[in-house]
């Protein structure tokens, strides 16, 4: 199974342990599914993690370890095609990753934009909690 985790899910996994985002990240690290990503997402992860909210809550080394693990172990989908479908254009690259990877799921907490789409091609867009239930 191939899955794309939205950047908000990845950051949530680092912020609070034993939550659905953290559990999904650990499931990936234990080989339960293949994670798809792209350099654009890793750049976003680095940029967003430098905002004051995250700087006061995360160690740069934790974010760096996550970025390195993803770069080394995930299916990297570069280059990405142009996709213009999300109500938030900043999320279109996640749909592009899903498309290139032929992902089964795109996991997000973005209720107003990505979750509202429900699907992109053959990719189902869902929440971390819903995907955890499916994995179990």
The verdict on whether omega for the bond into residue 32 sits within 30 degrees of 0, i.e. cis, is no
Q: With bands split at pLDDT 50, 70 and 90, how would you rate the model's confidence at 88?
A: confident
Sequence-ordered list of residues with C-beta below 8 angstroms from that of 47, at least 6 positions apart, any chain: none
Q: Which pLDDT tens digit goes with each residue over 101-110?
A: 999 999 999 8
Across the chain, mean pLDDT equals 95
pLDDT in tens, 34-70: 999 999 999 999 999 999 999 999 999 999 999 999 9
pLDDT of residue 85 exceeding 90, the answer is no
How far apart CA 69 and CA 124 sit, in angstroms, is 25
C-alpha–C-alpha distance, residues 20 and 130, integer Å: 9
pTM, full prediction: 0.95
Query: What CATH number does the domain located at 2-135 have?
Result: 3.40.50.1010
Residues 120, 92: contact at Cβ < 8 Å?
no
CA proximity to 81, closest of 95, 69, 71, 70: 95
What pLDDT, on the 0 to 100 scale, is given for residue 66?
97
Give the start-to-end residue ranges of the domains of the chain: 2-135
Which pLDDT does position 110 carry in this prediction? 85
Quick check: 112 pLDDT over 90? no
Q: Is the pLDDT of residue 136 over 90?
A: no
């Amino acid at each position: 199974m191939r899955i794309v985790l939205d950047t908000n899910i990845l950051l949530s996994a680092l912020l609070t342990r034993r939550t659905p985002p953290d559990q999904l990240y650990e499931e990936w690290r234990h080989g339960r599914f293949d994670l798809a990503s792209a350099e654009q997402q890793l750049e976003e992860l680095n940029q967003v993690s430098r905002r004051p909210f995250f700087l006061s809550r995360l160690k740069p080394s934790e974010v760096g370890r996550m970025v390195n693990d993803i770069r080394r172990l995930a299916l990297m989908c570069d280059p990405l095609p142009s996709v213009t479908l999300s109500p938030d254009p900043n999320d279109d690259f996640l749909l592009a990753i899903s498309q290139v990877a032929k992902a089964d799921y795109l996991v997000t907490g973005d209720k107003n934009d990505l979750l509202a789409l429900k699907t992109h091609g053959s990719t189902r867009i869902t929440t971390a909690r819903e995907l955890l239930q499916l994995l179990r």
